[in-house]
Amino acid sequence: MAHTSTPSAAEPGAPISDSVRWTQIVIGIVCMVAAANIQYAWTLFVPEIQATHGWTRASIQTAFTIFVVVQTWLTPIEGYFIDRYGPRVIVAAGGFFTGLSWIVDSYASTLALLYIGSAIGGIGVGCVYATCVNNALKWFPEKRGLAVGLTAGGYGAGSALTILPISAMIHSSGYQSAFFWFGLLQGAIIIAAAFFLRMPQKEQVKASTKVAQTRRDYTLGEALRTPVFWVMWAMFIGTVTGGLMAVAQLGVIAHDLGVKEAPVSVFGLTMAALPFALMLDRVMNGISRPLFGFISDHIGREATMFVAFTLEGVGIIMLSRYGHDPMMFLILSGMVFLAWGEVYSLFSATSADTFGTKHAGKIYGVLYCAKGVAALLVPLGNLLMEATGTWATVLYVTATMDLTAAACALLVLKPMLAKHHARNAEAARIAEAQGVPLSAAQPAGNYNG
């Protein structure tokens, strides 16, 4: 009789080769690349939608906020289904909704229908993103930062492959055609790739690591009762807000700074500043995730957070001061995205290090909801800009949030995690001495770190 509830086809304890593990990472990257445009190509459509329908920027950007909120806030539910049904079913469903989202957008003649398309996209991308990140965490416990970074990098850099084709189709055939045909293509790719995904059985993957990791698998309820979870949640909001603002508003910022159509030449390649920046930013965003993930595997998550968050904050401040120059706009926006993309590798890896991987889908799902909270702040950027007459105010506020999170990484999070891991190590020692399960030696309610 087939065990349909088992997420992986492999038998418990069966040896897993490195080629199998890396193949799973590559498949996850393919899925993430195909899902990326819903978020990262959005800024290309905003001016065309506004010109066609006459809707305000803020009302159109509400669709982006709806997408991010749905994508993030449904992640805990998706985490439950991942643990129950495995990656294939969830990613295939995600591919269906991802494709459907842009098809609905192609027919959207009202804001209500545009918002519905965004919500559908949030469901689809949430399923793909949560599942692929969860899978990467489990396949590479010794290289969590790198594995998750590569996977999340597919999402961050994926749209770089299609920015120019989408832009060309928008100008030649209209934004509706671009929505329809790219939605169809992206959904089909995700569904096809989903059938090759699998999840390792417990004990199939073991490896040593330089980063402190808990031996205990916390339940969602236990994780939510730890102060360290909420510190990470607040830091996530602080760092992700600036990047989301740039993703959603970069085209608008470039227009208002007067550099949108200004030509920029680099190594003999000449392009308008905005599409050049968008292409470069996606590449930097993708490089950021495995780069900083790899670094964090060797020097620790908190030190890496401090460096990256500081770099992002400084980059945003400089963008506000020098972004009116086309070349500086290109360089500084790339710097911001290089420093921003790593949040998706560092926080997921830190969550698994801190709370274990058995319930990683649900726990990181709740932590990832911080991105949804940050998305609610994106439309406020337009309102703050209109009230002050300058993007400098908006950028300084987001930079302050980044620099605050950077300080918290070393001054708050690092000592809390040290205390957390020391407590778990002591509980493991007691459990081994008493011959009882680790959870029995470490009551969930007895947390003081």
Split at pLDDT 50, 70, 90, the class of 437 is low
Structure confidence by residue, pLDDT tens digits, 263-307: 888 888 788 888 888 878 878 877 888 999 999 998 999 999 999
The pLDDT assigned to 179 comes to 93
The whole-angstrom separation of Cα 367 and Cα 232 is 8
Contact 438, 216 (CB under 8 A): yes
CATH of the domain at 186: 1.20.1250.20
The pLDDT assigned to 90 comes to 94
Total structural domains within the chain: 1
In a domain, 6, yes or no: no
Q: Give the mean model confidence (pLDDT) for residues 136-160.
A: 84
Residues of the domain holding 171: 19-197+207-433
272 backbone dihedrals φ, ψ, rounded to 5°: -65, 150
Q: 1: buried, middle or exposed (CB in 10 Å: 19+, 13-18, 0-12)? A: exposed
Buried b (16+ CB within 10 A) or exposed e, 357-395: bbbbbbbbbbbbbbbbbbbebbbbbbeebeeeeebeebb
> How distant, in Å, are the alpha carbons of 88, 201, 437 from that of 24?
12, 14, 32
In a domain, 447, yes or no: no
The whole-model pTM stands at 0.77
- Residue by residue, what is the 3-state secondary structure of the chain? CCCCCCCCCCCCCCCCCHHHHHHHHHHHHHHHHHHCHHHHCHHHHHHHHHHHHCCCHHHHHHHHHHHHHHHHHCHHHHHHHHHHHCHHHHHHHHHHHHHHHHHHHHHCCCHHHHHHHHHHHHHHHHHHHHHHHHHHHHHCHHHHHHHHHHHHHHHHHHHHHCHHHHHHHHHHHCHHHHHHHHHHHHHHHHHHHHCCCCCCCCCCCCCCCCCCCCCCCCCHHHHHCCHHHHHHHHHHHHHHHHHHHHHHHHHHHHHHHCCCCCEEEECCEEEEHHHHHHHHHHHHHHHHHHHHHHHHHHHCHHHHHHHHHHHHHHHHHHHHHHCCCHHHHHHHHHHHHHHHCCHHHHHHHHHHHHHCCCCHHHHHHHHHHHHHHHHCCHHHHHHHHHHHCCHHHHHHHHHHHHHHHHHHHHHHHHHHHHHHHHHHHHHHHHHHHHCCCHHHHCCCCCCCC
Instruction: Inform me whether the pLDDT recorded for 236 exceeds 60.
Output: yes
In a domain, 439, yes or no: no
Contact 104, 153 (CB under 8 A): no
Averaged confidence pLDDT in the chain? 84
Instruction: Inform me whether the pLDDT recorded for 309 exceeds 80.
Output: yes
CA angle (243, 294, 19) in 5-degree steps: 115
In a domain, 440, yes or no: no
Split at pLDDT 50, 70, 90, the class of 208 is low
In a domain, 192, yes or no: yes
Of 335, 338, 332, 337, whose CA–CA distance to 319 is shortest?
Answer: 332
Lowest mean pLDDT among 10-19, 255-264, 337-346, 421-430: 10-19
Site of tokens 């904050």: 313
The pLDDT assigned to 14 comes to 60
In a domain, 411, yes or no: yes
> How distant, in Å, are the alpha carbons of 229, 417, 422, 445 from that of 448?
13, 12, 12, 9
The whole-angstrom separation of Cα 448 and Cα 426 is 14
Instruction: Inform me whether the pLDDT recorded for 448 exceeds 50.
Output: no
The whole-angstrom separation of Cα 386 and Cα 229 is 36
Contact 289, 345 (CB under 8 A): yes
Q: Give the mean model confidence (pLDDT) for residues 344-373.
A: 88
Q: Which residues pair with 272 in a beta bridge?
A: 263
The pLDDT assigned to 449 comes to 43
Instruction: Inform me whether the pLDDT recorded for 9 exceeds 60.
Output: no
Per-residue tokens: 290: 């495995």
The pLDDT assigned to 16 comes to 76
The whole-angstrom separation of Cα 304 and Cα 338 is 13
Q: Give the mean model confidence (pLDDT) for residues 316-329.
A: 87
Contact 393, 316 (CB under 8 A): no
Instruction: Inform me whether the pLDDT recorded for 2 exceeds 60.
Output: no
CA angle (47, 52, 55) in 5-degree steps: 70
Per-residue tokens: 323: 């972004």
Per-residue tokens: 164: 């120019």
Alpha-carbon torsion 217, 220, 224, 228, what sign? Answer: positive
